[in-house]
């Protein structure tokens, strides 16, 4: 049968830190990285970057975000996103 060229479980112990010495292949972006992305993007791309990096939303949450959920002018002057269960 042979072996596959790509084994998704090859670094599983390291990826999740189960071996005591985690090595992540997906480091977080630094301040300079975010600044470069913001400078290079258009308005829509900057809004998406704000949702992901600034607000901490997961990609699926950012994609499902609706303008009605944004409370931009609240009474206490601190804008927020309103999440409600339907």
Contact 22, 16 (CB under 8 A): yes
pLDDT tens digits for 12-33?
Answer: 777 776 777 656 667 778 899 9
Distance between alpha carbon 27 and the CA centroid of its chain, in Å? Answer: 12
Q: What is the pLDDT of residue 42?
A: 93
Q: What is the pLDDT of residue 37?
A: 92
Q: What is the pLDDT of residue 33?
A: 92
CB neighbours (10 Å) of residue 61? 14
The residue written with tokens 């927020």 in the block is 80
pLDDT tier for residue 35 given thresholds of 50, 70 and 90: very high
Percent of the chain whose pLDDT exceeds 70: 85
């Amino acid at each position: 049968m042979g072996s596959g060229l790509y084994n998704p479980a090859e670094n599983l112990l390291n990826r999740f830190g189960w071996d005591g010495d985690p090595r992540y292949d997906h480091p977080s972006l630094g301040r300079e990285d975010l600044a470069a992305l913001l400078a290079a993007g258009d308005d829509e791309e900057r809004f998406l970057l704000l949702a992901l990096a600034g607000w901490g939303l997961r990609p699926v949450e950012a994609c499902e975000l609706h303008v009605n959920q944004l409370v931009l002018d609240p009474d206490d002057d601190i804008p927020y996103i309103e999440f409600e269960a339907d």
